[in-house]
Structure 1
Amino acid sequence: MMILITGGSGSGKSAYAEQRVLECGALNRIYIATMYPFDEESHKRIKRHRNMRAEKQFSTIECYTGLKTLTIPEHSCVLLECMSNLTANEMFQEAGAKEHTVEEILAGVKALKEQAEHLIIVTNEIFSDGIEYDRETRTYQEYLGQINRYLAREADQVTEVVYGIPLHWKQKEGQHHETAME
């Protein structure tokens, strides 16, 4: 099963995604962290997030680029967080895919989906602020938009989290989920 979770900054999407992983039961809990630690603030944020997950028994894999090369243990529930960071890394990191970012990330998601029993992907809603950006940022938005549209088509479930409330936009028949995060 593949679940796509989206929302704005501070929406509660990460907490909701972690809760969904816990609901997977006794599977291996794998957290794929994509945030590249580029300054002191990002190191603090990463440490805070690791501490939040520590009691939840996640194994963390840091993956900034090259998602398709990862090997996941059998019987795993994988949380990939987050697609917006991975897209930026593939575009701007030296080892990144540059203009092949979309293809590279989608190949990685396909590889993970084949390996994981459950794949939960977090992405960001960055498209509704109405601001006109420079060409490089518009390219980033275009790539992330293409990736998000593909993920939404392929996902069994698409949920947007707004103020900690999950809104289900797509759900396969027979699925029902109502967890709201505080």
Structure 2
Amino acid sequence: MGKIILVTGGARSGKSTFAENLLKEEPSVCYLATSIVQPGDTEMADRVKKHQEQRSKKWVTEERFRDVGQFLSEHHQYKGYLLDCATLLSINYFYSLMVDEYGEDYALIDEKIAGFTEDEKNKIEAKIMVEWHKIIENARKLSGDLIIVSNEVGLGIVPENPFTRWFRDIYGRVNQYLGKESDEVYLVVAGIPLEIKK
């Protein structure tokens, strides 16, 4: 059985590079890319391109943020798996739930978000956590390691936007869950990995 390894850190801390280096000796790796590039978003497209260029050309890339647990249950052939990143998976999964409910009317979605009750917020967070439970449950059945990259969101300023504050809290609770369930946890600061659980 493989290990679950969490690699966290701030923006441009070097966490993705460190995570990729953990798998550089593996003969077969599946890179689970969770970002979405919206049409016209050249900045995000550039970020994705840089990530693609720095990782091994031998790796298989699977672009998805939904049903990752199911994917892992059906694909046991790799020696390593790298999910980058948990933060984007959570927010993209959230917006996909909103699109399922309200269609692709983003003005309506923004209106609905602004009016969420605490009960509605709790139900949405529970759905996100169910998705993470499925990922961890199926990762435990893999023979290869699953490395999860996630942004450390608790060290910056408190966002002024209520939605961002709420989702920052969700990210934090996702990280707590992943830290608890992982066999190893690393915090990357200024390109230097600090082992905080092994």
TM normalised by structure 1 equals: 0.83
Amino acid aligned to 2:88: N
Gaps in structure 2 of 5+ consecutive residues? 102-122
Amino acid aligned to 1:11: S
Residue 44 of structure 1 is matched in structure 2 by 46
Deviation larger for 4-13 or 62-71:
62-71
Written as runs of structure 1 = structure 2, the 5 A alignment for 1:1-182 is 1-23=3-25, 25-26=26-27, 28-38=28-38, 39-55=41-57, 57-70=58-71, 71-93=74-96, 94-95=99-100, 98-99=124-125, 100-171=127-198
User: Deviation of residue 64 (structure 1)?
Assistant: 2.3
Q: Which has the higher helix share?
A: 2
Gaps in structure 1 of 5+ consecutive residues? 172-182
Q: Say if 1:87 and 1:140, in contact at 8 Å, map to a contact too.
A: no
Amino acid aligned to 2:60: S
TM normalised by structure 2 equals: 0.77
Structure 2 SS opposite 1:22: coil
Q: Say if 1:90 and 1:98, in contact at 8 Å, map to a contact too.
A: no
Count of equivalent residues = 168
- In the alignment, the residues of structure 1 paired with residue 46 and residue 100 of structure 2 have an alpha-carbon distance, to the nearest angstrom, of 24
Change (3 A) 1:64 1:143: same
Q: Say if 2:13 and 2:190, in contact at 8 Å, map to a contact too.
A: yes
Q: Say if 1:92 and 1:98, in contact at 8 Å, map to a contact too.
A: no
Change (3 A) 1:20 1:86: same
Deviation larger for 74-83 or 109-118:
109-118
Change (3 A) 1:118 1:95: farther
- In the alignment, the residues of structure 2 paired with residue 74 and residue 54 of structure 1 have an alpha-carbon distance, to the nearest angstrom, of 18
- In the alignment, the residues of structure 1 paired with residue 62 and residue 22 of structure 2 have an alpha-carbon distance, to the nearest angstrom, of 18
> Greater CA radius of gyration, 1 or 2?
2
Q: Say if 2:13 and 2:189, in contact at 8 Å, map to a contact too.
A: yes
Q: Could you say what the CA RMSD is over the residues aligned between the two structures, in angstroms?
A: 2.0
Structure 2 SS opposite 1:152: helix
- In the alignment, the residues of structure 1 paired with residue 168 and residue 129 of structure 2 have an alpha-carbon distance, to the nearest angstrom, of 11
Amino acid aligned to 1:162: V
User: Deviation of residue 75 (structure 1)?
Assistant: 4.1
With a CA cutoff of 8 Å and minimum separation of 6, indicate the structure with the bigger relative contact order: 2
- In the alignment, the residues of structure 2 paired with residue 35 and residue 168 of structure 1 have an alpha-carbon distance, to the nearest angstrom, of 26
Q: Say if 1:34 and 1:85, in contact at 8 Å, map to a contact too.
A: yes
Structure 1 SS opposite 2:23: helix
User: Deviation of residue 115 (structure 1)?
Assistant: 2.7
- In the alignment, the residues of structure 2 paired with residue 131 and residue 147 of structure 1 have an alpha-carbon distance, to the nearest angstrom, of 18
| CA deviation map 1:137-181 (0-9, x unaligned) | 12212221221111111111110011111101111xxxxxxxxxx
Q: Say if 1:78 and 1:116, in contact at 8 Å, map to a contact too.
A: no
Structure 1 SS opposite 2:83: strand
